[in-house]
Structure 1
Amino acid sequence: MGVITTLTRAWLTRTFKPFHFTNEYDNMLDYQDTKGLGLYVHIPFCRSLCSFCPYCKVVYDEALAEQYIEALLKEIDMVGSTVGIDKKQVTSLYFGGGTPALLLNDIDCIIKRIERYFTITEGIGLELHPKDVTEETLAILKAAGVSKISIGIQAFQEKYLKLLGREEFDYDEMFKALKRVRFETVSMDFIFALPSQTIENIKNDIETAFNNGANHIAIYPFIDFTFTDRNFIKMSNRRKKKLLYEIVDYCKERGYVRDSIWTFSKNGTSKYSSMTRENFLGFGCSATTLLKDRFKINTFDIKEYQRRIKSDNLPTALTLNFTLRQRMVYYLFWTAYSMRVSPIDFREFFGESLERNYGFEIILARILGFVRKEKNQYIMTTKGSYYYHYYENFYTLSYIDRMWHLMKNEALPKELIIK
């Protein structure tokens, strides 16, 4: 597995130089002239911990949550106060977790603090557990300025919820609340490639979502992180590939628009994605920041996060300073998630030609049927999307899994070298 990612990275970056994350960091972030900047806020609290979830989270504790919010607001001040007299224009703000709605009464305060320094142009998104989709909660979020919500359904069928460690839930109240309080985007998340799962099961989930308030869905394959628990046998790659093709064909037949590798929208305009942004600032424990020449990740340890902030230091745990080629590969990998890569956007971002840097790879991808050229963009095919996922799985286990496993065990690691 590591050999595949190592050879691919070496070929695309034209060097065997590894990704070398260190504990050195700047206490001021140079983002003021960054274009297309997004924002992310991490809320790490949950009522209970789902076994399949790899994200940074702890069981909710009121006193700890109050201390966390205090530190989070100070981190926003530390980063935002360097923007200057005029507010910095950003594209979007996303709240993830954890379960952000557990701090429902703090969301408005966090947004107002962010708006001291930033002007948000494309809306505010927030993740929700189905239990939190009540009329009262939705009304409070909408009044705070939230315009997009993503509900972590995973599956409507009880047998799959049990596999994922989720308890059965009565969705009638959730559906009623979504009818009464409207949002620009209502996305519902699902996991596919679970044991014995068929296209009929998934069709049922898709139609239940779109018939009950959703105008956007995300259907992610199950990823088996080494530090999470799984008590079932994984679906074979052959069956997973067949299921993906069936999902894509079904959504196409129904007129649902595929706007990224794993997402489809009912009207072609509703979007919810915190992953396809060129640059972003992250606030909170485990939050990442991606800028033109660097990537940084905050400590996963809540107590250490608070200690760093209290001592007037950013809670950065690891930093990677990109080479130009490394940044190009990172850009292309996550831009491809949107199913399209624009040579014009690539040149605007890097000041260099996409074809001059990766002409051979593009020709090969077209020959293999992974991409096609359309209106001066390279569009990923269904075949290409399957192999993107296949490689993403290797990348996730060779890179993200290693990083998160380290961060969960060490609050402030000395370094991380990924070859």
Structure 2
Amino acid sequence: MSLITDLTRMYLTHSTKPFIFTNDFDKVLPYDNGSEFGLYVHIPFCKSICNFCPYCKVIYDEETAKGYIDALIKEIHLVGRQWNGRRRATSLYFGGGTPALLADRITDIISALREHFIITDGIGIELHPDNVNVSVLKTLKSAGVDKISIGIQSFQDKYRRVLQRRKFDIKDISKALNEVHFETVSMDFIFALPTQTFGDLKNDIDMAFANGANHIAIYPLIDFTFTKNKVPAMPKKEKRKLLDDITNYCISKGYVRKSIWTFASEESASYSSMTRDNFFGFGCSATSLFKDQFKINTFSVLEYCKRIDANILPTALTNRFVKRQRMIYYLFWKLYSTRLKVKEFEEFFDIPLNKIYGLEFRLLQVLGFLTRDEEGYKMTLKGAFYYHYYENFYTLSYIDKMWGIMRKEAFPKDMRL
């Protein structure tokens, strides 16, 4: 798989140079006052570990969690006090782990962030179905959260057993959601499970929208090498038909496609912590993306807290982009939304897209992956499938390797991808 991604990277960057990460980092982060930024906060604690989940997480322990949140707030102030005044942030997302295990501390974290940032477009948080109750939802809403994403994965017992997920009562979830209103209620599902059919997914989609969701995300199962997942992969032909059928069904129902995997019943409903040009990440394993660099915090909760206690940023590795590397990173995540606005690319890089990748985008049109309109490019059904297909290579070649190393070493010397 790495051969495909290596050849793609070399062709698009016009260089054999890999993505090089080193253990040096800027003590003052390169915030560009003219750019829009998002915020991300990682809370790694879970009551149990799902066999398919690749994210940085540890079993919940009250004392450890308390110390971690104290360190997290201190990191926010270490970064935020680097500049005078409050900076504009378009969004804030909490991921994990299971952030709602510490719902009573979410207010403290948001208050710390608001000392340094003006959050303009909403605050989102991921929830386990066990946490969707009136008490937790009211606590989150009073803290300022207006978007929630519930990790359902499947409403069906047979797939919950495959994924080793506990049973929950959708009636209880629906009742809680009716009592406490949020701007976006997203529900996450996994597709391409063994023997899974379009009918199975259609039932999940219909049940989600009938029980409080106005947004859904349907992610493919990806087999990371370091997880305990033993679920066999679905053949490519079946997976493509399943993705096309899901897409066509959602479009036929009038749902708005928000990204490769997400659909909304309302135009205003949105939930994505990924499709942002620049962002600050706080907490262990959190990443930060700037115009010229990408940095990753240590995955170790213990070492993260030690660094913060010493008033040192918990950065483990930093990649300093060459310009074309930054361009392909930008294009990859912009196309995740199924749209690319040419003007936005040209404003971000101060160079015409056609001058850099005109040939490639014409070829993608000829192959039927993209169509052209006044604003830029829109992905076709065929393009969406092959984006997914290539994203699997990208994930296993880059993210799998990166996270695999970071899980073993708190502060690696370097990394080449």
Q: TM-score, normalised by structure 2?
A: 0.99
Alignment of 1:7-406 (within 5 A): 7-84=7-84, 86-406=85-405
Amino acid in the other structure paired with 2:313:
L
Structure 2, gaps ≥5 residues long:
none
Percent of aligned positions that are identical: 58
**Secondary structure of 1:312 counterpart:** coil
Amino acid in the other structure paired with 1:328:
M
Contact 1:318-1:413 at 8 Å conserved across structures: yes
- After superposition, what is the alpha-carbon deviation per residue over 1:86-135, rounded to whole angstroms, capped at 9, x for unaligned? 21011000000000001111000000000000000000000000010001
Rounded to whole Å, the distance in 1 between the matches of 2:49 and 2:308 is: 26
Rounded to whole Å, the distance in 2 between the matches of 1:156 and 1:125 is: 23
Amino acid in the other structure paired with 2:41:
V
Give the drift of 1:32. 4.5
**Secondary structure of 1:26 counterpart:** coil
Give the drift of 1:33. 1.5
Alpha-carbon RMSD: 0.7
Amino acid in the other structure paired with 1:237:
K
Say whether 1:417 aligns with 2:390.
no
Rounded to whole Å, the distance in 1 between the matches of 2:57 and 2:406 is: 12
- After superposition, what is the alpha-carbon deviation per residue over 1:163-211, rounded to whole angstroms, capped at 9, x for unaligned? 1111211221111000010000000000000000000000000000001
**Secondary structure of 1:285 counterpart:** coil
Rounded to whole Å, the distance in 2 between the matches of 1:106 and 1:232 is: 36
In the alignment of these two chains, the number of paired residues is: 417
**Secondary structure of 2:227 counterpart:** coil
Rounded to whole Å, the distance in 2 between the matches of 1:113 and 1:376 is: 38
Rounded to whole Å, the distance in 2 between the matches of 1:279 and 1:30 is: 11
Rounded to whole Å, the distance in 2 between the matches of 1:97 and 1:88 is: 25
Q: Kindly report structure 1 stretches of 4+ aligned residues shifted beyond 4 Å.
A: none
Amino acid in the other structure paired with 1:255:
G
Give the drift of 1:404. 0.1
Give the drift of 1:252. 1.0
Give the drift of 1:83. 2.4
Amino acid in the other structure paired with 2:75:
E
**Secondary structure of 1:142 counterpart:** helix
Rounded to whole Å, the distance in 2 between the matches of 1:373 and 1:36 is: 26
Return 88-97 or 367-376, whichever deviates more: 367-376
Give the drift of 1:231. 2.8
Structure 1, gaps ≥5 residues long:
none
Return 368-377 or 8-17, whichever deviates more: 368-377
